[in-house]
Structure 1
Amino acid sequence: MESKDYLKDLGEIKQLMNKSSRFISLSGLSGILAGFYAIIGAAVAYWLVISYSNGTLILDSKIFRLVLLDLILIAVLSIITAVILTTRKAKKHGEKIWDNTSKRLVINFLIPLLAGGFYILIILNQQKYGQTGALMLIFYGLALINASKYSIGNIRYLGIIEIILGLICALFPGYGFWLWVLGFGIMHIIYGTWMHFKYDNN
């Protein structure tokens, strides 16, 4: 009996330590929706480029600015959705949405993401945009891995997949669009679905 109580106490201590060091309210549904946003946004971008630019993007063209706006809208919608659904999940479980752990999560996620974003803007300004898709995947993957120690769901594995897709994209830039869709669209849907059934329903 004492042994069972001891194991139970150890389990509770481990659970408390996990809660204090990891942000556990991330919503899997937000990942699913982010994936759908990415696929819809990619379809819009593809239509714009094929219909009005003969399949080629020029940096100072109107179509390029529209595609860039499309990407920004995808990111904004994904962030807003994640904040709303994660906040709702945190309230449901009586947890704080903004504490030291979530702050560390956001900071560690943003450092490589912003560095990558600025680097991409620099090379775009130099009209070297052949590797943009690869760089987006790689830096996003690095951001996920960097933030993974403050979250659940082993998001580091999603980060590793994104980096691998980015490297493949660098090797085969002609398939960059489809690898981008696979990384930001389909992989988010798959991972978000797994997260939803593993954590959101508990």
Structure 2
Amino acid sequence: MSESREHLQTLTEIRSLMERSSKFLSLSGLSGVSAGIVALVGAGAAYIRLQKNNQTWLSYERISQLTGPERREMVDFLLADGALVLAGALLLGIFFTIRKAHRQGLSVWNTISKRLLWALAVPLVAGGIFCLALIRFNLIWLVFPSTLIFYGLALCSGSKYTVRDVEYLGLSEILLGLIALFWTGFSLLTWAVGFGALHIVYGTVMYLKYERDEPKR
């Protein structure tokens, strides 16, 4: 019986080593939670700013009624708001990921993390260029669902290099983005749910599942 337990423990250790060598396991659930909070703050700022001019619906009909200067002002604000949200989420995500890797005694920058970064970058860069084209041709109401869809595709692409939970988040983002394509009057709400609420739920689950009882070094 003791020998069987030793064999089982050995197999578990071998499996853990193989998983560590083929998957990036330093993604922190706190990165997801912090990104979600930052996104909700950004969405709240956008709501307050757009509400002043009764533009919070961001539908085709509403945007088509805006004059050139009004549209330009709204686009400039949304781009600045989005850039700040992205920067804040990235900085916090990098901080928590490095901290978790340090606690695990792992290197953040390795072959697997490079593959993960590339898998994420291709859909994200393509989506960013696509969204810039939408803005260029005044299709602003499609930018919000497009960011959700391309972000979800990036997560699904990168999930094979990390934990499976990332794929579930990606599929949720894609589904929400597709719904938002036909529910354009609530673009800001669906964006807040996708990048805010879903990230907080995902990050909390990740933390409870993988990090709560993790030994600290």
Fold conserved between structures, TM > 0.5 = yes
Residue 54 of structure 1 corresponds to 54
Asked whether 1:178 is paired with 2:178, we answer no
Distance in 1 between the 2:143 and 2:27 partners?
Answer: 28
Does the 8 A contact of 1:141 with 1:160 survive in 2? yes
Does the 8 A contact of 1:31 with 1:189 survive in 2? yes
Structure 2 unaligned residues grouped into runs of 5+: 56-61
1:121 to 117, 132, 135: 132
Asked whether 1:15 is paired with 2:26, we answer no
Residue 161 of structure 1 corresponds to 172
Q: CA deviation at 1:153?
A: 5.0
Distance in 2 between the 1:180 and 1:41 partners?
Answer: 10
User: After the TM superposition, which segments of 4 or more aligned residues of structure 1 sit over 4 Å from their partners?
Assistant: 56-60
Count of residue pairs brought into register by the alignment? 201
Identity of aligned residues (%): 39
Structure 1 unaligned residues grouped into runs of 5+: none
State the TM-score, normalized to the length of structure 1: 0.94
State the TM-score, normalized to the length of structure 2: 0.88
Q: Over residues 32-72 of structure 1, what are the superposed CA-to-partner deviations in whole Å (9 max), with x where a residue is unaligned?
A: 11101111100111111111x33156675223212210110
Distance in 1 between the 2:152 and 2:84 partners?
Answer: 20
Q: CA deviation at 1:5?
A: 2.7
Residue 132 of structure 1 corresponds to 143
**Secondary structure in structure 2 of the residue aligned to 1:96:** coil
- The within-5 A match list for 1:83-162 is 83-152=94-163, 154-162=165-173
Distance in 2 between the 1:188 and 1:16 partners?
Answer: 29
1:187 to 170, 173, 198: 198
